[in-house]
Amino acid sequence: MKVLITRPLFEEAIELVSAHAEIEIWEDENPITRDLLRLKASECDGILTTVMDKVDAGIISECKNLKVISQLGVGVDNIDVGEATNLGVMVGNTPGVVARPTADIAFGLLLNCARRISESYNWVKNKQWEIAFHPMSWLGTDVGGATLGIIGMGTIGREMLKRAQGFDMEVLYHSRTPKPDIDDLPGVTYCENMYELLSNSDYVSVHVPLTPETYYLISYDELKAMKKDSVLINTARGPIVNPSALYDALNEGWIRSAGIDVTDPEPIEPDSPLLTLDNLIISPHIGSASIDARRKMCMIAAGNLILGSNGERLEYCANPEVYQKLGL
């Protein structure tokens, strides 16, 4: 069988795949183009993709031999999962592994925004530190004892909850359904109405998948509903937060600051007005970028690629309903 991998991976993952299949790796620094992806995938039993690869219905329908699309990551919004299911193509992903490191980044951004670490570092780096101490300089906001609002209580949201508990924070959360296993925890409250969470949280952290329902979930009305001294954190997907609304909110002082690990589009455009703001921290989509997590992700994605190319059930499948169509 033949497979395509659209990015270099850890060596052990490449070795695992090479032992079972003829393998082609896209080595270029830039993502593979749509036309090349379509051309190369048309000859393959399986492809291993990243969030940078748009695998649309046109590509999937033209790849007659394709059995599996193995995504390196949890989110699969870059893949037309519905079309893949209709055509009997399994879609794999790597859940669970990314929860802890992504929550680490989210909470790191929260702390950074709260205490203005990056902002003050840039001030020092620009040789503006002339007075050793001033009691009214670089005032931030407390984290310990504050209220954190978590939008989306999946695996990453739950890891965020654990970190908040370590700082004695009150936690409000909003999700499609309440979570009985955490509702009895001290200091945790379910908010059926997201606006109740937004208006009562000192920090708001977004942890929902990108779907048609969550596109621009946080926009003008939502940002205006937040406290003026509050902080927004987004480590989910860029289009969940309207960038124009975020710029206005930060520029006009609707909220205090924001920390985002994802942008819309990615990479962020060099002339984006967001880059002119001092009260915004942007990291380049590094939520899962710990050595251990990325190694595990590569191994899971490699395993899914092999299993799917062999016509077997995946370790993690984003469209398990396809199994019935395939008789698996």
Q: For residue 218, what pLDDT is reported?
A: 98
What per-residue string of b and e applies to 258-286 under the rule 16 or more CB within 10 Å gives b?
Answer: bbbbbbbeeebeeebebeebebbbbbebe
With a cut of 90, say whether residue 254 has pLDDT above it.
Answer: yes
Q: For residue 73, what pLDDT is reported?
A: 94
**What is the SS3 assignment for 55-91?**
ECHHHHHHCCCCCEEEECCCCCCCECHHHHHHCCCEE
Q: How far apart are CA 184 and CA 52, in angstroms?
A: 40
Task: Work out the average pLDDT over 265-287.
Answer: 97
Q: For residue 191, what pLDDT is reported?
A: 98
Whole-number percent of the chain with pLDDT over 70:
100
With a cut of 90, say whether residue 104 has pLDDT above it.
Answer: yes
3-state secondary structure of 162: helix
Q: For residue 307, what pLDDT is reported?
A: 98
Peptide bond into 270 cis (omega under 30): no
Residues composing the chain:
328
Q: pLDDT digit string (tens) for 286-314?
A: 999 999 999 999 999 999 999 999 999 99
Q: How far apart are CA 9 and CA 299, in angstroms?
A: 9
Strand partners, 258: 232, 280
Q: How far apart are CA 150 and CA 206, in angstroms?
A: 6
Task: Work out the average pLDDT over 85-113.
Answer: 97
Q: pLDDT digit string (tens) for 8-27?
A: 999 999 999 999 999 999 99
Query: What is the pTM assigned to this prediction?
Result: 0.91
With a cut of 90, say whether residue 83 has pLDDT above it.
Answer: yes
The answer to whether residues 21 and 309 touch, using CB atoms and an 8 Å cutoff, is yes
Residues with a known catalytic role:
237, 266, 285
Q: pLDDT digit string (tens) for 118-176?
A: 999 999 999 999 988 899 999 999 999 999 999 999 999 999 999 999 999 999 999 99
Q: For residue 43, what pLDDT is reported?
A: 94
With a cut of 90, say whether residue 277 has pLDDT above it.
Answer: yes
Report the first-to-last Cα separation within the chain, whole angstroms: 19
With a cut of 90, say whether residue 96 has pLDDT above it.
Answer: no
Contacts of 273 (CB under 8 A, 6+ apart): 247, 251
Q: pLDDT digit string (tens) for 185-242?
A: 999 999 999 999 999 999 999 999 999 999 999 999 999 999 999 999 999 999 999 9
Q: Whose structure tokens read 């840039």?
A: 122
C-alpha 140: how far from chain center: 27
Q: Domains of the chain, with CATH numbers?
A: 2-96+291-326 (3.40.50.720), 99-282 (3.40.50.720)
DSSP string, 188-238: EEE-SSHHHHHHH-SEEEE-----TTTTTSBSHHHHHHS-TT-EEEE-S-G
- Mean pLDDT estimate for the chain: 97
Q: How far apart are CA 159 and CA 201, in angstroms?
A: 18
Q: Report CA-CA distances (Å) from 18 to 48, 103, 209, 233, 310.
A: 13, 33, 32, 40, 14
Phi, psi of 5 (to 5 degrees): -120, 125
Token pair of 282, please? Answer: 């942007």
